[in-house]
Structure 1
Amino acid sequence: MSAEISERSVGGLRWLWVRGPRAEVFRALGGVAAAEIHAVLGGLPEAGALKAFAETTAGRRLVGEVLAATERTHSRELTELHDLAAGAGFDVDAMVLANLRGDLGGDDGVGCSDLGWRAEPPAARLRQGHLAEHSYIAHNEDGAPALSGRFMLLTLQLDGEQPVTAQWYPGFLPSNAFAATAAGVAWGINHVQVARPAVAPGRHFVARALQHESSFEATIDYLRGIPTAGGFTYTIGDVHSGRVATVEVAAGQSAVVEAAPYIWHTNHLRYLEAPGGAAGSGGVRSLGQREESEARGAVLDALTPVAPDRQWFLEVLTGSVRRTAAGDDPLMTHCSTVVDLTAAEITLQADGQPPATVPWTEFVPQPE
């Protein structure tokens, strides 16, 4: 059976839908997005430094170790990337190396902001009188300005698997930004750099495999149990229970914190890092533009939400934590996303576009 591809748009974002057998889907995706894949990976700011590092003795050793660890535990996801490269006619080694960005140390910039709110049970709302009845997660996806117009949505309906819709940078696995699954779980991802990566699977591959988990609890357990070489933080929400949690995963370690009721994250470790920014247990510490991340974090930390609603989250995301690529800032916000977990609705606001709200069951098709 061949893959089926359709296309639509929402909130100013291109939206590809692909269904069929895994290999055919990723090869077809590579073919239809070949121009975008060549443009994104060909213009990747870190490409030169990644290639130069990979050609050193230390670089060859680390790339080989992380890639071997990925092959042992995430060969399915690695094969997806190989098929994507084949469909796009792009050098597979260069694509794999790009997808190991953040797993090899070094400095590749920081971006993205996340917020979450867990609604209190009805009895608590009656006692306190000011807590929102709905649970939310919210995500700003920040990236290089050159990616504007190429960043898109992607829905995968692979035969025999639960559907998923992810925000996608062509040339990467659809795993490193925002995702929502037919299981009723969604999350935003923030990049976190680590000084000394672990010998463990690459973070993009772990994040892609996460999309197969069947519940909020299974999602948390998976991240607790699977180490990654580099660092991601996940702000995760559950439609069924309204639970919201942040999970930090970096250099083989993990930490889980549930919202009570408000939680936020930017691009520096909050729970795994030792005080004062020194190397913590296992050598985890943040690198890169930490001051910029901490400045966004200070804005989010100073908020005192009172019965926040969808509009409140949109105003925060499109306000003082929005990236504009102005002055010394190398990044811009490509899309602001608010998930009303209680209403099961997802609102997207792409740069320069009005917001658009989609019911969960339209955003992510249900298994057939």
Structure 2
Amino acid sequence: MPLTRLHLEGSAYQIGYGLGLFGRDAVHTHLRPLPLWRFLAEQAHTSAGRHMRQCVQLDYLGYWQEIEGLAAGLQLPVDEVFLWNCRGDFVSPHNGVDGCTTLFSQTPEGSLIAHNEDGLPQLRGHCAILDARPETGLAFTSFVYPGSIPGHTFAVNEKGLVATVNNIRPKRIPAGIPRQILGRATLDAESIDAAIEAVSRPGRAGAFHHGFGQVGSTRLVGVEATAQGVSVTDISQPAGHANHLVSIALDQVAQRITGSSAARQGRIEQLLKHSPGQLTPERSLRILRDETDPQLPVYRCSADDPDDENTLASALFSIGASAVEWRVYARRETASPDVAGTL
């Protein structure tokens, strides 16, 4: 099923409301019945839940208004919707969601970032590519899930900043600024350094791996951002990242590494090692679609995936001196992208 193309503009509340209208049926049908949703809703009035809400209302009012609009469009209590957008900020007895794999490489024309967006299988056909033109902040194009604000998937903003995000699973998460709020802040960053600063802010809760590149530069950066510390890596050789911390600087951070994440990280490193040289878009897409391991493939489409995640889209960003060309594939078997554009 192809991706929806969604165009929204206006205030933060209006954009959130439009996202709510888009995702309403999928959220009520596929997300609100989940044990994870119910667990998170119960955290709304805990000290951690209240602290996280205060953090957002105090320092990220525009993003809070986006969440208020999202809740109104979904016809759900704002506390429930906010906590769903904090789903990686609590150590939960239930499986998390949103996995992902990212590739990086310099190219003769500039640089390349390629990304598999892995999420709940039941959301296939219910996600969108959002073109947002907010009254305040930068315009951007982003993959969006029903029930979620943008900024924790893959995106490119009007300054040509490309951002990708991979889930990380720490075993200890303090109450703090929700990781999806910090991811949303990167879409308003005018440079790679500004994006790094946004996700490195002290006082965060959950952890993410962020990938950044920008038009007019060959610089590629991977940022592993946790409450216990942040590791920034400038990438000069083709590299990949799955869903666990790999930086030696963050060895002290206890984390859960799933079998899928370990297998995908190992497989992409193997493919890069045995076929050296800069990545092309075509080679990147072949790696993202690799199914050599039938149990724990890079491209995930099994109904019994052990992390309850499937690849919902693959994105390619070709970053040049004056433009970013992007392509998104929602189906493994197609050679042509479902959605594409140039910024």
Q: TM-score, normalised by structure 1?
A: 0.82
286, 289, 293: which one aligns with 1:315: 286
Specify the SS of the correspondent of 2:54. helix
CA contact (8 A) 1:27 1:86 kept: yes
The alpha carbon displacement at 1:29 in A equals 3.4
1:31 matched residue in structure 2: 21
Which residue is 1:7 aligned to? Answer: none
- 1:140-219 matches, within 5 Å, as 140-219=116-195
CA deviations on 1:204-235 (whole Å, 9 max, x unpaired) are 11111221111122112222235420011111
Alignment: residue pair count: 327
Query: Is 1:285 the counterpart of 2:254 in the alignment?
Result: yes
Q: Once superposed, what is the RMSD of the aligned Cα atoms?
A: 2.3
Other-structure match for 2:331: 351
Q: How far apart are residue 45 of structure 1 and its match?
A: 5.1
**Paired residue for 1:339?**
317
Task: State the partner residue of 1:360.
Answer: 342
Contact 2:238–2:278 (CA<8 Å) still a contact in 1? no
- Is the Cα–Cα contact under 8 Å of residues 50 and 97 in structure 1 kept in the other structure? yes
Aligned mates of 2:327, 2:117 — CA distance in 1: 13
For structure 2, the 5+ residue unaligned runs are: 292-297
Distance 1:113 1:16, change over 3 A: same
Aligned equivalent of 1:124: none
CA distance in 2, matches of 1:50, 1:273: 31
2:23 corresponds to 1:12: no
Tell me: CA distance 1:71–1:212, structure 2 relative to 1, closer, same or farther (3 Å): same
Percent identity for Structure 1 against Structure 2: 27
User: Which position in structure 1 is the counterpart of 2:65?
Assistant: 79
Partner Cα distance (1:118, 1:20) in 2: 36
SS at match of 1:225: coil
Q: Deviations over 1:290-320 (max 9, x none)?
A: 2321111011112233232110000000113
| CA deviations over 1:336-368 (Å, ceiling 9, x no partner) | 11111126211211124443263422xxxxxxx
When normalised by structure 2's length, the TM-score is: 0.88
Q: Aligned partner of 2:285: which letter? A: L
The answer on whether the counterparts of 2:106 and 2:278 sit within 8 Å (CA) in structure 1 is no
Alpha carbons 1:236, 1:245 under 8 Å: kept: yes
* Unaligned runs of at least 5 residues, structure 1: 1-10, 120-131, 362-368
**Residue-by-residue CA offset, 1:111-139 (whole Å, 9 max, x unaligned):** 210110124xxxxxxxxxxxx55410111
Q: 1:71–1:224: structure 2 CA closer, same or farther, 3 Å change rule?
A: same
Higher mean alpha-carbon deviation, 294-303 vs 317-326, is at 317-326
Contact 1:115 1:235 in 2 (8 A): no
1:299 aligns to what?
267
The more displaced of 151-160 and 30-39 is 30-39
TM-superposed deviation, 1:176: 1.5
Distance in structure 2 (CA, Å) of the matches to 1:100 and 1:109: 11
Q: Does 1:116 align with 2:104?
A: yes
Matched residue type, 1:290: T
- Structure 1 position 255, deviation (Å): 1.0
